[in-house]
Chains A and B, each alone.
Chain A
């Protein structure tokens, strides 16, 4: 069973872990023990070559330079036998921030959006901008005549930014939100999980998203069809790495021994290909 090339659009701001996941994903695909396997060799692994080398050395990969947009093509086969070419990009997350700040989408990104079949959105919950306000943390007395000082550094809350980002992408793809969405299928990956949640806790990713970004979680669940929206947790690295000090365990056991996925039901798995394989089933 062969399918036309399936393009997955990765969406993630700077520092949300796209490059590390891409590198670890390729290592897992090559290892061949996950639900998704590579058939032959990936075309052009240069976007991830540096990341894979660094991980092999037990250190963090470099930040992707801002104007980079490169694609790897992974010829893959799922456990059910579905084969396709998976187009997997690497780019600098600043391009996403730029889009939401300037409210503009350039031609290259428009083509990526319109040509994509599934989306993976990376969110790093420990870096979101959330504010306490008068309703959550009240003030005893407010002087209504106090100076109305404009906040010069005013930035939208992260929830508003993410809702707007998704609205922007859906509009570009020509997908309305009045009816529930099946295409494109959406997978949300809550990255750097190991830095947020203790190992012993059996936290369900959807609950964590609802807890930290309730408005955004509501928006997703009201907009997507349940079977085409999946929320995973991810620790691509398994443990914090440093930029310059190699991690001894990584050197001994290799990056393929590290990293895990948190499934929608809260269980953990070392198979980092699961979110992609799940998405492939949804867009097949």
Chain B
């Protein structure tokens, strides 16, 4: 039966029951769905061999199956912002490949992922296979849903604290639209990232900023930085100079930094590349790991001001007491 369950948040039979029933026939919503689809037949339960489908698909999480992670602990959402082709997906993939190869962070250990399918799908194009050269991951399609797919990694730190990290993998077109028109209908995904991210990475494409369309690239980046700056509300941001094997003229970099300082108050910079030339470059690996460590180690420093309560009834000595 192909009918989706009538319960709004449930995608059975293509995923497990959102309300947790192992046997679909035990769920009242499923029974209702089955009855509507085939009123004269008995209710189908789970597959003939009584098998139970895992509640996570292994692919990027959508906003409904996100509950599976969000329900167990507070997750950090990393908003990955930048124009199309700026290298966002490639950097995310590089993070996974480095962890898979045993590159370690100083304070955090990989503790699992519920989007291994998503990671493997991204990593596969970058792998050597018989008859296939590695290439960059395919363009993140802006047709793939309205909201970004989320990639998940769990870490355990040296203080034994378990952290769930969610990285947004969204098409650059969304941010370009959002920077021009905040309420654009096709920028809903960017607004979602803006709403939920705890920390932002803004990609500055070094190749675009030194290529034939550098003027346009520069204006797009400034527009995105300005939009982001307006929405930050104290959240941290890092500027990622991607494709840094290509040199951005220092004058352009400095002029952009002026804008960043104005829009962001404070920010951090990272310079990354996965285009390694003839020899593996340790500098790039280290920089990507430094970025990941920064994402995980960042703690919002509190302003630590004391709470101030106005005195509204000065004649009442108890309520007016302030210690």
Contact = CB atoms under 8 A, between A and B. Distances in A.
Interface of A: 102-107, 110, 131-140, 142-144, 146, 148-149, 151, 153-154, 156-157, 159-160, 163-164, 167-168, 171-172, 176-180, 210-211, 214-215, 218-219, 221-223
B58 A107 contact: no
Given A106-B50, A136-B101, A177-B154, 6 more contacts: A106-B52, A134-B134, A137-B128, A148-B125, A149-B132, A215-B100
How many residues of B sit at the interface, in one of the four size bands?
35 or more
Interface string B119-144: 11101111111001111101000000
Interface stretch (B106-114, B216-224, B299-307): B106-114
- A-B pairs, 7 with minimum CB distance: A214-B102, A222-B111, A104-B51, A138-B276, A107-B50, A222-B109, A222-B156
B287 to A, nearest CB: 13
B47 to A, nearest CB: 7
A140 B278 contact: yes
Given A133-B123, A219-B111, A159 B52 contact: no
B277 A138 contact: yes
B127 A146 contact: no
A164 B52 contact: no
A148 B135 contact: yes
Given A107-B50, A151-B124, A138 B100 contact: no
What is the predominant secondary structure among interface residues of chain B facing chain A? loop
B112 A177 contact: yes
B322 interface: no
B160 interface: yes
B261 interface: no
B213 to A, nearest CB: 15
Nearest to B121: A154
B113 A218 contact: no
B136 A151 contact: no
A215 B47 contact: no
Interface string B185-224: 0000000000000000000000000000000000000000
14 contacts: A103-B54, A103-B57, A104-B53, A106-B52, A110-B52, A132-B127, A134-B97, A134-B134, A136-B101, A140-B278, A177-B112, A179-B162, A214-B102, A223-B112
A221 B110 CA distance: 9
Contacts, number: 143
B110 A218 contact: yes
B124 A154 contact: yes
B102 A215 contact: yes
A151 B285 contact: no
B274 interface: yes
Contact of B100 (A159, A210, A222): A159
A248 B260 CA distance: 77
B120 to A, nearest CB: 5
Contact of B278 (A103, A110, A138, A215): A138
B128 A133 contact: yes
Contacts of B160: 180
B154 A171 contact: no
Contact of B101 (A135, A144, A146, A171): A135
B36 interface: no
B53 A133 contact: no
Contact of A163 (B116, B278, B279): B116
A106 B51 contact: yes
Interface string B11-51: 00000000000000000000000000000000000010111
A148 B133 CA distance: 10
A131 B132 CA distance: 12
B180 interface: no
B230 interface: no
Nearest to B108: A222
B116 A135 contact: no
B99 interface: yes
A164 B155 contact: no
A157 B101 CA distance: 12
Contact of B280 (A135, A146, A211): A135
A165 B99 CA distance: 18
B58 A103 contact: yes
A112 B280 CA distance: 47
A145 to B, nearest CB: 10
A6 to B, nearest CB: 25
Contacts of A148: 125, 135, 138
Nearest to B155: A222
Contacts of A179: 162
A57 B262 CA distance: 81
A102 to B, nearest CB: 8
B311 interface: no
B109 A218 contact: yes
Contacts of A135: 94, 97-98, 101, 126, 274, 276, 280, 285
Contacts of B233: none
A132 B274 CA distance: 15
B134 A142 contact: yes
B217 to A, nearest CB: 16
B275 interface: yes
A101 to B, nearest CB: 11
Contacts of A178: 72-73, 162
B116 A176 contact: no
B184 to A, nearest CB: 28
